[in-house]
Amino acid sequence: MVKVIMGLKGSGKTKKLIESINATVEKSEGSVVCIEKGTALRYDVTNRCRLIDAGEYQLYGYTFLKGFLCGLHAGNFDITDIYIDSFYKIIAQPEEDKTDEFLTWCDAFGAANNVNVTVSLSQDVSTATETMKKYL
């Protein structure tokens, strides 16, 4: 399953993400992972969530991020939820059609591996594509 948290800067995306992560950790019987650009969430997210700074792994691009997600799962089959904060900052050069493709890929990956994926997009909801709307 894929969920998208979308809104412009200052719209409360990060607060929703933090609340969702902390609630998920409480009920999850497996591991919860959050990929972010930097370490801004370090003090807001429970320490039972594995925080990963995307900058340390040079995850600049859709293909690299897909490979990274596959590698995370291959190394830990207990992952139940993956959160990706500030998706466009991680990707560095976002493209609408590639973002749609990535979300569709995440949906298939999640279904095949029983993993929920939540992605935060800094974009006005009114400009969401049909694919993005499907996951809101």
Does residue 12 come out as left (phi exceeding 0), alpha (psi in the -120 to 50 range) or beta?
A: left
In the DSSP assignment, the letter for residue 99 is H
**Total-model pTM:** 0.96
Which domains occur in the chain, in start order?
2-122 (3.40.50.300)
Do β-strands 31-36 and 116-122 pair in parallel, antiparallel, or remain unpaired? Answer: unpaired
pLDDT at 82: 98
Across 79-107, average pLDDT: 96
In tens, the pLDDT along 1-22 reads 999 999 999 999 999 999 999 9
pLDDT at 88: 95
* 22 class by beta-carbon count within 10 Å (0-12 exposed, 13-18 middle, 19+ buried): middle
Closest by CA position to 78, among listed 48, 103, 102 = 48
